[in-house]
Amino acid sequence: MASVCFAPIRVPMIRATKLDACGSVVVGACSTVATDGIITVEQTGEFNDRQDFFTLNGDGLPCITDTSPPILKWINVTITFCRVDPELVNMLTGEPLVLNDAASPQAVGFRTREGSAATSNFAFEAWSRLSGSSNCSGNVVQYGYFLLPWMVEGTVGDITLQNGVANFTVTGRTHNNSLWGTGPYNVLVNETGANSGNPGPLLTAIANNDHRHIQVTKLAPPITGCGCVAEPLALTVAPTSGAAATPRVLTVPTGPGGASTLPAVIDWGDGTALQQVTVGPTVNHTYAAPGTYTVRYWPKNYSSANYVSALITVS
């Protein structure tokens, strides 16, 4: 088996995803945050110590010489940020948000409250740049991808206000029995099969005793923005007229901050081949048979959740 070696340097991007108390992704309007306001991500494994089994016989010579190996309990994580995103802090630590009184209230801060850490459940992803020959493959820039599929007990660390930069930290630990599966996001580019050349999720599901996943990927990190976004993302698909049987028109969505999501891939949900899209602002499709369909759309150039339509009924 051949290996792809890589040398991680720097960390340009992280993404956090809200989980429930059982470790499942929370689907809703404020489920995920991506930010480049990151400085370091420190990870230290905590182990149950190795046990030694050593017994001498009656002649003073070793009779039993054995050990049981150390057992990983969890990974302790310290994340240092250079930018405060209140909704990200809330997602990582459970600290309640402070809202302003605008017509559409905005999160302008957070409060430190007793017991908040008990409500902290999130997944954490980070991307690194790569050094040297591992930086590119086939003229495509590669990245290191790091996943901690279930973290708990997130707390805000010491905060120092001074005549200088006021960084802050969040600490937490990993948890076993993750329900992340292959994840809700596309994080790699498929090399073979029917989806070759298109973005996709992890190739194999996270096991219940997996605390961390690391790999090299050809798919760029997500686009950042201040505040949280939905998972999945909303996709507008409507009839070209009032009749249920007419062709459907998909409105090409925009990414965070109005960024382009093109080029992209569309799965119309009717078994037809995936459609490659490079231009907008709309894309038409005619369903060949009556039925109910769900349309999925995802960008090709960066990691993203799927954009998903409401259920479509064709008569």
| Cβ-based neighbours of 195, under 8 Å, separated by 6 or more | 274
Rg of the chain on CA atoms, in Å: 23
Q: Name the pTM for this structure.
A: 0.93
pLDDT at 25 > cutoff 90: yes
| Centroid of chain to Cα 232 | 12
311-315: average pLDDT: 90
Report residue 126 as tokens.
Answer: 């980070």
pLDDT for residue 243 = 62
Whose CA is closest to 25, among 305, 299, 208, 231? 231
pLDDT at 242 > cutoff 70: no
pLDDT for residue 137 = 80
pLDDT for residue 100 = 97
pLDDT for residue 279 = 95
Q: Distance between terminal CA atoms of the chain?
A: 51
pLDDT for residue 124 = 98
Helix (H, G, I), strand (E, B) or coil at 6: coil
pLDDT at 241 > cutoff 80: no
How many other CB atoms sit within 10 Å of the CB of residue 61? 7
268-287: average pLDDT: 95
The pairing of beta strand 233-239 with beta strand 307-309: parallel
pLDDT at 199 > cutoff 90: yes
Tell the residue number behind the tokens 């470790």, with chain if given: 23
pLDDT at 70 > cutoff 80: yes
Lowest mean per-residue pLDDT among 15-19, 67-71, 164-168, 298-302: 164-168
pLDDT above 90 as % of the chain: 83
Q: What mean pLDDT value characterizes the chain?
A: 94
pLDDT for residue 194 = 84
pLDDT for residue 245 = 61
What residues does 234 pair with on adjacent strands?
Answer: 308
Whose CA is closest to 303, among 72, 42, 86, 13? 13
Phi, psi for 156 (deg, rounded to 5) = -80, 130
What domains lie within the chain, and their CATH numbers?
8-49+67-230 (no CATH), 232-314 (2.60.40.10)
